[in-house]
Amino acid sequence: MYTEYWKLTVKPFENSPDPRFLYHSPQHDEALMRLLYAIQSSKGAALLTGEYGCGKTLLMHTIVNELSSGQFNIAYLTNPRWSANELVQEILYQLEITPEGTSRIEMLHSMNDFLFDNVRNGKHTIIIVDEAQIISDYETLEELRLLLNFELNDHPLLTLFLVGQPELKNNIRKIPQFDQRISVRYHLKQLSYEETIMYIQCRLQVAGRTDSIFTEGAYKEIFNHTQGTPRTINNICDLSLVIGFGRHLEQIDSDTIIGVIESEK
């Protein structure tokens, strides 16, 4: 709609987890480094937390994108509102494992065989549970913990990533045996004012625009309203570009941003 007007090749502020638009802030790069280390060193479990809209899912999709070779089998669970038994079924489905039967023991035997075959073939299995803070059932969390018991000579046969909002940390702490198995942890924070500017500019550059669209006053209003939360930044910037296109503006200034914010109240 507005891409041609603003000389963009794609819409820069979509909230879809497109790895092209990952902003490599120091904290995002450190999180990426730690999570990749968990895979490369065959750590059993890693925990990534952050406030709503801080880029956790985008970060995980970036990792999946980097691991897209045949060396890895990845199960990505995005809505974990399951019982313990349904969790195992979903993992089997995503890893394309056909269980020998429908009983829990048969499903776990099938998973065990799959994991051992992967190790023998030089492959690694990764299970990602996104939005894991919504798991309220103790048995489901316990089932996730028990996945870490798949080992060969004390060597984990899989890497489990738990991704979610800050309350996930408290949920895990309620199961000390699980908490102790988390080898790598990182918490994503909101962006600073300077990072907010660089984040917006980075997305515009990926979308094909090298010169600035937003004024300094616009940046200040965006940060004051969003406090550096990427998803909220995206929403405001996207709508402001629509408004700017409709009004034939040359730049997005503070008044435009204020108008966008006021219209959403």
Ranges for all domains in the chain classified under CATH 1.10.8: 191-263
Strands, sheet with 182-188, edge to edge from the N-terminal-most edge strand: 72-77, 124-129, 158-164, 45-50, 182-188
What are the beta bridge partners of residue 155? 152
Burial of 103 (0-12, 13-18, 19+ CB in 10 A): exposed
Cβ pair 63, 22 in contact under 8 A: no
pLDDT, one tens digit for every residue, the chain (265 residues): 799 999 999 999 999 999 999 999 999 999 999 999 999 998 999 999 999 999 999 999 999 998 867 799 999 999 888 899 999 999 999 999 998 888 889 999 999 999 999 999 999 999 999 999 999 889 999 999 999 999 888 789 999 999 999 999 999 999 999 999 999 999 999 999 999 999 999 999 999 999 999 999 999 999 999 999 999 999 999 999 999 999 999 999 999 999 999 987 7
In this prediction, residue 67 carries a pLDDT of 85
What are the beta bridge partners of residue 46? 161, 184
In this prediction, residue 68 carries a pLDDT of 66
Ranges for all domains in the chain classified under CATH 3.40.50.300: 26-188
In this prediction, residue 42 carries a pLDDT of 87
In this prediction, residue 179 carries a pLDDT of 95
Strand 155-156 vs strand 182-188: parallel, antiparallel, or unpaired?
unpaired
Phi, psi of 192 (to 5 degrees): -75, 175
Domain 191-263: assigned CATH number: 1.10.8
The topology under which CATH files domain 26-188 is Rossmann fold (3.40.50)
Cβ pair 133, 168 in contact under 8 A: yes
